[in-house]
Chain A
Amino acid sequence: MAAFSTASVTPETAATPLSLPKPYRPSSAAFLRSLPRKFNRSPKTTSPSVFCTLTKQPMTSTEEEVILQRPDSFGRFGKFGGKYVPETLMYALSELEDAFKSLSADNEFQNELDGILRDYVGRETPLYFAERLTEHYRRPSGEGPHIYLKREDLNHTGAHKINNAIGQALLAKRLGKKRIIAETGAGQHGVATATVCARFGLECVIYMGAQDMERQALNVFRMRLLGAEVRPVHSGTATLKDATSEAIRDWVTNVESTHYILGSVAGPHPYPVMVREFHAVIGKETRKQALEKWGGKPDVLVACVGGGSNAMGLFDDFVDDKDVRLIGVEAAGFGIESGKHAATLTKGEVGVLHGAMSYLLQDEDGQIIEPHSISAGLDYPGVGPEHSFLKDIGRAEYFSVTDEEALEAFKRLSRLEGIIPALETSHAVAYLEKLCPTLPDGAKVVLNCSGRGDKDVQTAIKHLKL
Chain B
Amino acid sequence: MIMASSPRNVFLQGGNTTEFSEPVLKLRRLSFSAPLGSPYIKAADRPRPRPRPHISCSAVTDKMPATVGGALDSNSLTARRLMTQTFIDQAELMTVSSTGKFGRFGGKFVPEALISCLSKLEAEFILALHDENFQEELATALRDYVGRESPLYFAKRLTDYYKNSEGKGPEIYLKREDLVHTGAHKINNAIAQAMLAKRIGRKRIVAATGAGQHGVATAAACAKLSLECTIFMGSADVGRQGANVLLIKNLGAQVKVVDGSFKDATSEAIRDWVGDLETSYFLSGTAVGPHPCPTIVREFQSVIGKETRKQAEEKWGGKPDVLVACVGSGSNALGMFHEFIRDEDVRLIGVEAAGIGLDSGAHSATLARGDVGVYHGSMSYLLQDEEGQIIGPHSIGVGLEYPGVSPELSFLKDTGRAEFYAVTDDEALDAYRRLCQLEGIFPALEASHALAYLEKLCPGLEDGAKVVVNCSGRGDKDAATVYKHNEGRV
Mark A residues whose CB is within 8 Å of B.
118-120, 122, 125-129, 132, 151, 154-156, 158, 194-199, 201, 218, 221-222, 224-227, 411, 414-420, 454, 457-458, 460-461, 466
Contact = CB atoms under 8 A, between A and B. Distances in A.
Interface string B125-161: 0000000000000000001110100111110010000
A461 B243 CA distance: 11
B277 interface: no
Interface string B232-269: 00000000000100110111100000000000000000
Contacts of A226: 436-437, 440
A436 B22 CA distance: 59
Contacts of A227: 436-437
Given A154-B179, A415-B223, A418-B219, A461 B488 contact: no
Given A411-B250, A414-B252, A151 B147 contact: yes
Top 10 A-B residue pairs of the complex, sorted by shortest distance between their CB atoms: A418-B220, A418-B223, A198-B440, A195-B440, A122-B179, A154-B147, A199-B440, A418-B224, A415-B252, A126-B144
B181 A154 contact: yes
B488 A221 contact: yes
Interface stretch (B115-123, B340-348, B479-487): B479-487
A414 B179 contact: no
B179 A156 contact: yes
Given A221-B483, A411-B250, A119 B151 contact: yes
B396 interface: no
B490 interface: yes
B219 A225 contact: no
B226 interface: yes
With most chain A CB atoms within 10 A of its CB, the pick from B157, B433, B437, B438 is B437
A365 B154 CA distance: 54
Nearest to A224: B490
B442 interface: yes
A210 to B, nearest CB: 16
B145 A126 contact: yes
Contacts of A418: 219-224, 251
B163 to A, nearest CB: 15
Contacts of A120: 151, 153
A146 B226 CA distance: 18
Interface of B: 143-145, 147, 150-154, 157, 176, 179-181, 183, 219-224, 226, 243, 246-247, 249-252, 433, 436-442, 476, 479-480, 482-483, 488, 490
B303 to A, nearest CB: 15
B433 A414 contact: no
Contacts of B152: 119
A195 B157 CA distance: 13
Classify the secondary structure of B's interface with A. Answer: helix
A221 B490 contact: yes
B31 to A, nearest CB: 40
A199 B157 contact: yes
A128 B145 contact: yes
B247 A454 contact: yes
Nearest to B223: A418
B246 A457 contact: yes
Nearest to B486: A221
A466 to B, nearest CB: 5
Given A218-B480, A218-B483, A418-B221, A125 B247 contact: no
Nearest to B178: A156
B154 A119 contact: yes
Nearest to A148: B144
Contacts of B247: 420, 454, 457
Contact of A128 (B144, B223, B440): B144
Contacts of B246: 457-458, 461
A211 B474 CA distance: 28
Contacts of B437: 198, 225-227
B241 to A, nearest CB: 12
A160 to B, nearest CB: 14
Contacts of B179: 122, 154-156
A127 B243 CA distance: 28
A419 B181 contact: yes
A376 to B, nearest CB: 17
Given A221-B490, A225-B437, A226-B440, A457 B250 contact: yes
8 contacts: A119-B152, A128-B144, A151-B147, A195-B441, A198-B437, A415-B252, A457-B243, A460-B250
B250 A419 contact: no
Contacts of A155: 179
Given A154-B181, A221-B479, A454-B247, 4 more contacts: A128-B144, A198-B437, A221-B488, A458-B246
Nearest to B441: A156
Given A218-B479, A458-B246, A414 B181 contact: no
Contact of B147 (A125, A195, A457): A125
Given A221-B488, A418-B223, A418-B224, A201 B157 contact: yes
A242 B440 CA distance: 27
Nearest to A151: B147
Contacts of A201: 157
A49 to B, nearest CB: 50
With most chain B CB atoms within 10 A of its CB, the pick from A127, A196, A415 is A415
A415 B220 CA distance: 8
Contacts of A218: 479-480, 483
B277 to A, nearest CB: 25
Contacts of A420: 247, 250-251
Nearest to A413: B223
B224 A417 contact: yes
B439 to A, nearest CB: 6
A196 B250 contact: no
Contacts of B488: 221
